[in-house]
């Protein structure tokens, strides 16, 4: 159980930096003037620089990215290393 938990934590820590880097790049590009003007066509009743929308979007994307990296980590932690090496 301890090894399973530490493997999950190690995997999530390794994928944390790319997740946050992608979120920051998306946030900075969306806040750019060109990005804001392009977003205006798709937004109805919400200004393109609404802080609540950005915070909600960033939190939602962070949750999706965390789940996307947590699910493979949980699967890998449950497998025996011998079984995993035998398949390769």
Report the chain (88 residues): mean pLDDT per 10 consecutive residues. 67 80 79 69 77 83 85 80 71
At residue 46, the 3 state secondary structure works out as coil
DSSP 42: T
Q: What is the largest CA-CA distance in the chain?
A: 56
Per-residue model confidence (pLDDT) at position 10: 78
């Amino acid at each position: 159980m301890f090894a399973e938990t530490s493997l999950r934590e190690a995997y999530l820590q390794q994928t944390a930096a790319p997740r946050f880097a992608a979120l920051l790049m998306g946030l900075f590009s969306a806040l750019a003037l060109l990005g804001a003007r392009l977003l205006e066509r798709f937004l109805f009743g919400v200004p393109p620089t609404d802080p609540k929308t950005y915070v909600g979007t960033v939190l939602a994307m962070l949750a999706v990215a965390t789940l996307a990296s947590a699910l493979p980590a949980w699967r890998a932690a449950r497998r025996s290393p011998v079984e995993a090496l035998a398949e390769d």
